[in-house]
Structures are given as C-alpha cells and as structure tokens.
Amino acid sequence: MNKRSTIILIIFFFAAVSANAQLGNLLQKAKDKAVNKIENSIDKSNKNQNDSTNVTNNNSTGNSNQSASIMTYRNYDFVPGNKIIFESQLADETVGEIPSQFTLQQGQMEVENDNGENVIRIDKGSGADFTPRMSVPNYLPDQFTVEFDFKDQRYGVADLDIHFGDGDNIIRRINFQERNAINWTTGTVDYPSGLHIGYNDPMTWHHVAIAINKNVGKIYIDQFRVVYANNLTGNAQSIIFNVGQYYNSFIKNIRIAEGGTNVYKEVTTTSKIITHGILFDVNKATIKPQSMGTINEIYNLLKKDPSLKFEIDGFTDSTGNEQNNLSLSQQRADAVKAQLVIMGIDASRLASKGFGSTKPIDTNSTPEGRANNRRVEFVKMG
C-alpha cells in the first residue's frame, strides 16, 4: 500500500472558565431551550401535515440519525458539491442480492431490509471491496464530496477503509479505527471527546462526510469536523469502499457530488442559489440535522447583507403524484423558512413556494438525476 506522509492540523478551541463565560453559558442554555421548544412545535406541525398528506416522493437520506437534532448540528459547516454524480438508490434493489449500482471486487455484500429500509450488509468473516458503478473509470474532479451512513456491530463506524486512487494506485486512504481515531494516510487523529463511538456505541448509524478540494481535505463524523488537512498530494480519480471482516457492517445513503457551492458568488452573478445539501426525512418536511451546513451558509449570507431577501423554492423529482409533490415541496420550503426565522432572520425577508417536479434541472430516469431535481433554491427578491 502506497502511504505518503501527511501533516494534519487540528485546532480545538476551549472556552475559558470565568464568571463571564458562566453567564454566557446560562444565557446560551436559555436560548437553546427556547429554540428547542420552537423546533419541537415545528416538527409536530410537520408531522401533522405529513400524516394528512399521502406523499410518495422519496428522499435520498433515508431515516438515519433520528436521535440527532438540528441544535446539535448548529455549528456544522459541511456543504456538499453542487452536482450529484452518484447516489445509491437501495429502495429499488432486491433484498438478498448484490446491489446493482456497485461493482463487487472481492468479498460478499447484499441488500438487507433494516427497520423498513433497504441497506447494504457486509457479513462478519467475508468483508467486501466495492466501488460505485460509473460510466467512466476516472470520475472524480479536483473538488468533490462523499457522504454515507455507516454502522457495525461493535464500534459503530470502525472496520472501514476508503481508498481514493488512480487506477491501481492508492493516492490517499482513510481508515476509521477501532480506538476512536481516524488514520488519514499516515497520520492518526483522535476523535473529539463529544463524539461517542466505540464499545458503548454498536449498531448506531453515523453520518460520514468527506470534502476534498485539490490539496485541502476535511472529514466529518456526525456534527463534528474531525480532520482538516491542507497539504494533500496527488489527483484521486475513483473511490473504493473496503469494509473489513471482523464485524457485521452496514452502509447506506452513499452520495458523491462534484464541485462546491459558493453562495456569495452565485447570489451576485445569477441571483439564485441552487442547493442539494438541505435534506428531509422521507416523504416529510422534517429537516435532517446534516442540512445545517447549507442552512448556516445561507444564514451567514443574510446576516452579512441586511438588504438581501430570498424566495425559498422547494422542488421534488417526478416520483409519485404531482399534487402531493406540490404540497410536499411547499411544506419543505416553509420548513426552511421557519428554521431561518428561528435562527434570527426576520420573516419579512423571506418568502416560500413549492413547485413540485414542474421545473426539473436534470433527468428523472436515473437516481443521480432525481437527486439533482430534489433541491431547495434561494432566489433573490427585490
């Protein structure tokens, strides 16, 4: 295995213990309590709306991380690429078969139903090396993101390697280790203390996000940014998922996207920001916690320019009944507006509208095309 030295720079900020800090903590706790109360009311409202609407449009994130809340992700800064080039669609796969969207290089893998949702299972004793089935062998651009959910029967997110390579050469390797650490090429980085993975966390889904832009790389687990490197070398062109044979392991919601969204550039050049990072529970308007990276970008833009106003437009793919999709897209646009208002943006600066599947920007005949069509746009007003 080709390993190259990498210096990992991780900066942790610790608040000083002082009377002012204690007062600030009390105020923040009071604010968080108030925000949680509002969020719970919104979630309850969304549930009532969705229970009364038979919506059939799917969503790529499944129902992972149900225990996480938007508040725990309030400082999240991961934003996925702006064009999805691969998205797993396991709902269409046959249980007990190898998922057709992947090439199995060695080992064993199959689709299994887990609490009503299809996932990929890799059995203890077999392990598996597999790659997304792509039309070209070298499909990764200089800037790209990778996301997925993973769990195993002992450590939660251990026993997993990701190889970014060029043909047979491994340019960089990410190894999620058993002892609460990531091995990024040759450097080992401990998980932050707030990230609970290990003996006490088996069979819990964790969301993993990776962002690479030329020589800069970031790795996130759940709401934590675990690794930040700025001296990567080599041009990775493809991905191999290597799941070990020590535990039963499960993976789902694999998404690869190219590029990145520069909200400041888009709003000044096109007057519209197209986002694919605001995700919802399946057939619901409940915002997934990992959406906060994108929402925080929009919030910061609105805070920076008090004169800026947005119409928030929701879109679905063409799956299901169009009238239901229109209703669902309106509810989702309303939910995003409500979240920004909770964060402190004046409601008069925001409008919301649902368009269903009426304005596709990609084909609806592939999982990737449908994923690109499921989006939230922020259109400049005034």
Domain chopping of the chain, boundaries: 45-61+262-381, 83-258
Q: Taking a C-beta distance cutoff of 8 angstroms, is the pair 207, 149 a contact? A: yes
* Residue 380 contacts residue 310 (beta carbons within 8 Å): yes
**Cα–Cα distance between 299 and 318 in angstroms, integer?**
29
CA distance 123 to 152: 10
User: Which residue, among 358, 262, 260, 265, has the nearest Cα to 317 in the 3D structure?
Assistant: 358
Determine phi and psi for 169, rounding to 5 degrees. -95, 130
Q: Pick from 329, 326, 350, 355: which is nearest to 340 by CA?
A: 350
User: What pLDDT is recorded for position 265?
Assistant: 78
> If you ran DSSP here, which 8-state letter would residue 154 be given?
S
Superfamily designation of domain 83-258: Exo-inulinase; domain 1 (2.60.120.560)
**Residue 19 CB neighbour total at 10 angstroms:** 7
Distance CA 180, CA 184 (A): 13
Token pair for 214: 């030329």
Q: Do domains 45-61+262-381 and 83-258 have the same CATH topology?
A: no
Which two structure tokens, joined as six digits, stand for 7? 């210096």
* pLDDT at position 298: 96
Pick from 277, 328, 270: nearest CA to 298: 277
- How far lies 276's CA from each of 6, 98, 127, 272, 355, in Å? 31, 28, 32, 13, 16
Q: What is the pTM assigned to this prediction?
A: 0.81
Which CATH architecture fits 45-61+262-381? 2-Layer Sandwich (3.30)
CB 201 within 8 A of CB 195: no
- Could you identify the residue written with the tokens 């691969």? 86
The predicted pLDDT at position 202 comes to: 82
Q: pLDDT value at position 68?
A: 63
Q: CA–CA distance from 313 to each of 228, 231, 350 (Å)?
A: 33, 38, 11
pLDDT in tens, the chain (382 residues): 433 333 222 222 223 323 333 334 443 444 444 434 434 444 443 333 333 333 335 444 444 443 468 899 999 999 999 999 999 999 989 999 999 999 999 999 999 999 999 999 999 999 999 999 999 999 999 999 999 999 998 888 888 999 999 877 899 899 998 777 898 866 889 988 888 787 767 889 999 999 999 999 999 999 999 999 998 988 899 999 999 999 999 999 999 999 977 777 788 888 899 999 999 998 899 999 999 999 999 999 999 999 999 999 999 999 999 999 999 999 999 999 999 999 999 999 999 999 999 999 999 999 999 999 999 999 999 8
Contact 149, 205 (CB under 8 A): yes
